[in-house]
Amino acid sequence: MKVQIEDKEFSCFLEYEKIKKRTRLLGIQLNVDYENRVPVFIGVLNGSFLFMADLMKEVHVTAEMSFIKVSSYMGQDTSSGVVKSVIGLDIDLKGRDVIIVEDIVDTGITLSFLLDVIKKHEPASIAICTLLLKPQSLQHEIEEIAYVGFEIPNEFVVGYGLDYKGLGRNLRDIYRFVPDPTDT
């Protein structure tokens, strides 16, 4: 299936049923790893809202949840590399087991910045749970990335929380941008 968003055409890449299945497995892994602990899940808005909701339904350990926002991308389709600030970090993370929930890790610039900020709060542990990872795009190794839904090629994706120019976050499946072969 294809969708048109503004000037670009996207084709279906990851169906929701597949995302759901993978999310269930991530939940099982988290339930084992965080047994007898009370982790704090921090969802990075806006992109992670659907993934966070589905993931939390698979996590059965007692957990705390919060959402933060990192101002960086501003609805463009390429990384500006400019990460400004973290908004909404209102939980005391000292001594806590923190799990950052991301929609996608692309260059890793956003995450590196976020990790620096969170480490200053002296949590007991930090792990990243990201639905998508673009390994070819990652600029430096981030050892905290412990849970990955899918590794994907270096292509722009939209849907299931991810947007193109602010649009398409509500799409149930994930779509990838198909460049027009006649474009140079």
**Residue ranges binding Mg ion (CB under 5 A):** 44, 47, 103
- Are the beta carbons of 59 and 162 closer than 8 angstroms? no
Strands of the chain, DSSP E: 2-5, 8-14, 40-45, 64-70, 86-87, 97-105, 125-133, 145-151, 157-158, 174-177
Tell me whether residue 106 is one of the annotated catalytic residues.
Answer: yes
The tokens for 139 are: 């600029």
> Is residue 103 at the binding interface for ligand XMP, with CB under 6 A as the rule?
yes
> Is residue 158 at the binding interface for ligand XMP, with CB under 6 A as the rule?
yes
Stretch that binds ligand XMP, among 10-18, 24-32, 56-64, 104-112 (CB under 6 A): 104-112
**Residue closer to ligand XMP (CB basis): 30 or 132:** 132
Smallest distance from Mg ion to CB 44, Å: 5
- Are the beta carbons of 130 and 113 closer than 8 angstroms? no
Q: Residues interacting with ligand XMP, by CB under 6 A?
A: 47, 73, 79, 102-111, 156-158, 162-163
